[in-house]
């Protein structure tokens, strides 16, 4: 348990630093923004208490907001997906439920399950974040296009990370 907790703390710092130092400098045409840091919420163990997921989401979003000076937008979006995660996991749960001592990863539940899980939570995160950023519906279609493109780019990076970084 302590080893898992320490691993998640290290993952938290690595993901935040990767996001603010590397990935935030990637902005392709104003429509593609890879927001890889949400993988921290996605990969939390199934047995993690809901309050801990929410607290982790808050700290993760706050850390990104502090580095990017975005006034709570990332915090709101990350807490939202932390809140929605148990509901999404319930909807896409395997017929027999989740096995004990497993994690939400491709290794345990397969490519299709993990891709659907990632796309749903990434889309929810990006929808909240990008509409908070523009804070109006005047540019609804261009913002929605940005959400869709960034969702697919972020989900692609997260799924690929399962093969190169988080193998088990």
> Where exactly are the structural domains of the chain?
2-164
- Looking at residue 98, its pLDDT comes to 83
pLDDT tier at 30, thresholds 50, 70, 90 = low
Find the helix or strand (DSSP H, E) in which 38 lies.
none
pLDDT tier at 148, thresholds 50, 70, 90 = very high
What is the per-residue pLDDT across 89-130, written as a single tens digit (0 to 9) for each? Answer: 999 988 888 887 778 889 889 999 999 999 999 999 999 999
What is the per-residue pLDDT across 41-51, written as a single tens digit (0 to 9) for each? Answer: 999 988 888 99
- Looking at residue 10, its pLDDT comes to 84
- Nearest to residue 145, comparing CAs of 121, 127, 125, 124? 127
pLDDT at 70 over 70: yes
**DSSP, residue by residue, 63-126:** HHHHHHT-TTHHHHHHHHHHHHHHHHHHHT--TT-PPTT--SSHHHHHHHHHHHHHHHHHHHHH
pLDDT at 167 over 70: no
pLDDT at 29 over 80: no
- Looking at residue 31, its pLDDT comes to 67
């Amino acid at each position: 348990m302590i080893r898992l907790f320490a691993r998640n703390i290290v993952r938290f710092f690595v993901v935040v630093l990767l996001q603010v130092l590397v990935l935030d400098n990637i902005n392709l045409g104003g429509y593609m923004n890879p927001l890889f840091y949400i993988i921290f919420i996605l990969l939390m163990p199934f047995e993690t208490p809901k309050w801990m997921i929410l607290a982790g989401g808050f700290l993760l979003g706050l850390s990104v907001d502090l580095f990017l000076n975005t006034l709570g937008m990332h915090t709101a979006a990350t807490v939202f997906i932390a809140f929605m995660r148990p509901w999404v996991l319930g909807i896409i749960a395997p017929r027999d439920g989740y096995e004990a001592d497993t994690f939400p990863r491709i290794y345990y539940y397969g490519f299709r399950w993990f891709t659907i899980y990632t796309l749903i939570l990434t889309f929810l995160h990006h929808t909240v974040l990008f509409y908070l950023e523009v804070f109006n519906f005047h540019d609804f279609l261009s913002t929605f296009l940005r959400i869709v493109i960034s969702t697919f780019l972020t989900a692609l990076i997260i799924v690929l990370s399962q093969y190169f970084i988080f193998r088990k």
